Structure 1
Amino acid sequence: MLQWIRSYAFLIAMYGGMAVIGLGLFPWALTSEHAARRVAKIWCRWTLWCASWMVGLKTEVRGEIPTGEVLIASKHQSFLDIIIIFDAVPAAKFIMKRELLFTPVVGQYATRIGCVPVDRGKKGAAIAGMLRAAKASNEAHPGQLIIYPQGTRVAPDVKAPYKVGASLLHGYLKQTCIPAATNVGHFWPRLGVYRKPGLAVVEFLPPIGPEVTKAEFLSHLEEVVETASDRLLKEARDAAR
């Protein structure tokens, strides 16, 4: 019961912080992309700090943190992996569903830092639009472009296919891809309020070069990300015993 109370209090602190920080510093965010990014990072660090003492959820980033103009293809289990990655890398921007642009605070900041909205209902047309928008974003907002190759949040132990969009983006942009694994879904579920204490990890894995073919890319990406994510999940479960 106490952990439930802590979890509710944490959500209030997290979303309350989003409103206070995001709206209170919005005039500064309007001055430049750098300022908008700094405000977003302030909120990320506020959230990670609150999680650490309010619900006992610590976070850790492993592997070499990407700093250049690269594509990051990450396992996506909950909102927490978004927060950890954004806080870790210097200039993150996301491939995101278009509806999020209309979310208060989130949408305004996503636009300012160069996130790429995708209309998921249009399939082929959506992919073509994503490729063009990603290239334009890279030119206007250099940094680390993050895609979730399964297209949505996937809970631990649930299998979901890796979609072709990540492979097409890798081939089109001709950038190095950094795979990323995580176990955050064990502590912070896709849905629900309850947060478990423990150590949530995002791990950056060895790069996949731009010379890797489309045929090889997706299967290799899935293998390394799923293997590493399963290892991190086992680590989290073993620590809880």
Structure 2
Amino acid sequence: ALETLKQRACESVELNAERLGALSRRIWSQPELAYEEYQAHDAMTRFFSSAELPGAAWAVQPRYKLGTAFRAEWGTAAPQGPGPGPLRIAFLCEYDALPGIGHACGHNLIAEVGAAAALGLKAALESLPQPAPLAVQITVLGTPAEEQGGGKIDLINAGAFDGLDVVFMAHPSQENAAYLPDVAEHDVTVKYYGKASHAAAYPWEGVNALDAAVLAYNNLSVLRQQMKPTWRVHGEI
């Protein structure tokens, strides 16, 4: 039953709570910037390579597509006879920090939660009679450089997400929720070019770039009252 599988997953997380907490604290205590998360990467790969973890071993690729990315996999045996391929479920672990303020965004917790969820699902699947009616492959992806550079974009372009059916990630927040709407962000740079002229003798021959920029800024500010609640426009001159 589903409740039994949930219980097995929770029991696994509790069983590994001390290891998971130590992993998180190790990453927290040694903050590293995007693409430089060598100590966090090594801590994650050692965690999934450890013989102390219960159940069958994980197959770990310590240098996967990027220097500080990794991939750990485990899967159940496929049922005999023709049928669909395995269901491929992935969990993401981030572990880069912010300049000057370390893990203020909680990526050490993202790494811990991703690892915990993978261990929990693995334990639940291992508790089923084998071979299971559906083969399942669990993948843990270490995804560096979330704060700067776009590490996941690099991994997508390198094919790291190919073949995955569903991907999960958790993020610390002020709210406890399974889903929170997010806001996409895109920068737009607009340059205004003027034309010099004598301000007293021939002002009509000039073009005032600053006036144009100020008018655009003010017009966007007035437009905000017609914008939807999820729209955000912030300008700088």
Q: Give TM-score scaled by structure 1 length.
A: 0.28
Structure with the larger RCO, 1 or 2 (CA within 8 Å, 6+ apart): 1
Q: State the structure with more CA Rg.
A: 2
Greater helix percent: which structure? 1
